[in-house]
Chains A and B, each alone.
Chain A
Amino acid sequence: MIRIKCPYCGERDHSEFTYGGDASIRYPALDASREDWTQAIFFRENIRGFQKETWHHLNGCRMWLEIERSTVTHEIKSVKPCHPDLQKIMDSKK
Chain B
Amino acid sequence: MTRFNAWNVFKNGLNGQKGWSRQWRDPEPRSNYDVIIVGGGLHGLATAYYLAKNHNLNNIAVLEKGWIGGGNAGRNTTIVRSNYMMPGNHQFYEHSLKLWENLSHDLNYNVMFSQRVHVSLFHSPGAKDSYARRYNIMRLNGTDGELWDLKKLKKKIPILNYNNARFPIMGAAVQPRAGNARHDSAVWGYARSANALGVDIIQNCEVTGITRQNGNIDSLQTSKGSIKGKKIGFAVAGNTSRLWQMAQLGNLPIESHKLQAFVTEAIKPFLDHVVVYGVGGAHFYISQTDKGSLVFGGDLDWYKSYAQRGNLPIVQDVAEAAMAILPSIGRLRLLRHWAGIMDMSMDGTFFICKTPISNLYLNAGWNYGGFKASPASGWYFADLIANEQPHKYIQHHHLERFEQGINLDERGAGPDPKLHG
Q: A: which residues have CB within 8 A of B?
A: 1-2, 13-15, 18-19, 21-22, 34-35, 38-39, 41-46, 48, 51, 53, 55, 71-74
Contact = CB atoms under 8 A, between A and B. Distances in A.
Interface string B281-303: 00000000000000000000011
Contacts, number: 75
Contact of A45 (B251, B313, B418): B251
Nearest to B345: A42
B415 interface: yes
Contacts of A44: 241, 251-255, 417
B249 to A, nearest CB: 11
Nearest to B417: A44
Given A21-B304, A43-B251, A48-B256, 8 more contacts: A14-B313, A19-B302, A22-B304, A38-B402, A41-B346, A45-B251, A46-B255, A74-B307
- Sorted from nearest, which 8 A-B pairs have the closest CB atoms? A46-B241, A19-B303, A43-B251, A42-B402, A38-B403, A15-B313, A42-B253, A42-B346
Q: Provide the main secondary structure of the chain A interface.
A: mixed
Given A15-B313, A41-B415, A42-B415, A72 B306 contact: yes
Interface string B257-274: 000000000000000000
A21 B241 CA distance: 16
Nearest to B241: A46
B interface, size bucket: 20 to 34
Contacts of A39: 251
25 contacts: A1-B313, A2-B303, A2-B311, A14-B303, A14-B313, A19-B302, A21-B304, A38-B402, A39-B251, A41-B346, A42-B415, A43-B251, A43-B253, A43-B402, A44-B252, A44-B254, A44-B417, A46-B241, A46-B252, A46-B304, A48-B239, A48-B306, A71-B305, A72-B307, A74-B305
Interface of B: 239, 241-242, 245, 250-256, 302-307, 311-313, 346, 402-403, 415-418
Given A1-B313, A21-B416, A73-B307, A46 B403 contact: no
A46 B418 CA distance: 13
Contacts of A43: 250-253, 402
A34 B251 CA distance: 16
A38 B250 CA distance: 14
Contact of A19 (B250, B306, B307, B418): B418
A63 B256 CA distance: 25
Nearest to A18: B302
Nearest to B418: A19
A2 B403 CA distance: 36
A71 B416 CA distance: 17
Given A1-B311, A21-B416, A41-B415, A48 B403 contact: no
A61 to B, nearest CB: 19
A71 B403 CA distance: 28
Contacts of B415: 41-42
Q: Which of A14, A21, A38, A43 is the most central at the interface, judged by chain B CB atoms within 10 Å of its CB? A: A43
Contacts of B302: 18-19
A13 B255 CA distance: 23
